[in-house]
Amino acid sequence: MSTNDVVIDLEKHEVFSSAIAGLPKVAELIATFPFEDRQRALEAAKQSYLETALGLGYEEATALRWAEAVMFRLQFTQAPVAA
């Protein structure tokens, strides 16, 4: 593995970590949608994560798994409750 490969792997890891860290905000935003529009919002989020993974150079199948992993985490992320 070259130094360049390590830098690329770290970049991918940082993007994935940022995506996970941002899930509470995404969940909060999706919670503001009317119930009937939430599925479409979730699909849009998944598409966005898929495009991010493809932009990082993942092949289609790997990018899809990456996006699905983020969406799996999103399912278990609840929007903060307003006080």
Task: Give the model confidence (pLDDT) of 35-68 as tens digits.
Answer: 999 999 999 999 999 999 899 888 999 899 989 9
DSSP designation for 12:
H
Residue 40 Cα to chain centre, angstroms: 15
Q: Percentage of residues in the chain with pLDDT exceeding 90? A: 43
- Confirm whether 81 is domain-assigned: no
pLDDT of residue 8: 47
Q: Which domain holds residue 23?
A: 3-75
- Confirm whether 68 is domain-assigned: yes
The count of domains in the chain is: 1
- Confirm whether 83 is domain-assigned: no
- Confirm whether 38 is domain-assigned: yes
- Confirm whether 82 is domain-assigned: no
Tell me the two tokens of residue 13.
Answer: 């890891």
pLDDT of residue 7: 44
Q: Percentage of residues in the chain with pLDDT exceeding 70? A: 80
What would the mean pLDDT of 1-7 be, rounded to a whole number?
44
- Confirm whether 80 is domain-assigned: no
- Confirm whether 14 is domain-assigned: yes
